[in-house]
Amino acid sequence: MLWWLCLPAGSVSDPARIPLWGCFGITGGFFLVVGGLVAAAGKKKFDSFNPLPDQTAQTVKENTEWIMNSK
């Protein structure tokens, strides 16, 4: 679509201002930047919370110790 937008008005031939490979490069770069921003935002969101509550983790440790010591 970017290549189509770069065609001169009224032109049906192929003399676009940006070559087709350039349009693919621009589009790919755009999606690379957007994907990087989304990944960075997701990592920041993931790092901001603890998925396992502290009390549950402590209980699991105690249960594991009890099982290991009861044998």
Query: What counts of helices (H) and strands (E) characterise the chain?
Result: 3, 0
Q: Assess contact for 18 and 6: CB atoms under 8 A.
A: yes
Radius of gyration (C-alpha) of the chain in whole angstroms: 28
- Residue 34's pLDDT is 98
Residue 8: pLDDT above 90?
no
Q: Is 34 exposed, middle or buried (0-12, 13-18, 19+ CB in 10 A)?
A: exposed
DSSP 37-57: HHHHHHHHHHHTS-SS-HHHH
Mind listing the pLDDT tens digit for each residue in 19-58? 778 888 989 999 999 999 999 999 999 888 877 777 888 8
Q: Look up the pTM and report it.
A: 0.56
- Residue 58's pLDDT is 87
Residue 13: pLDDT above 70?
no
Domain boundaries, the chain: 22-71
Ramachandran angles phi, psi of 20, nearest 5°: -60, -40
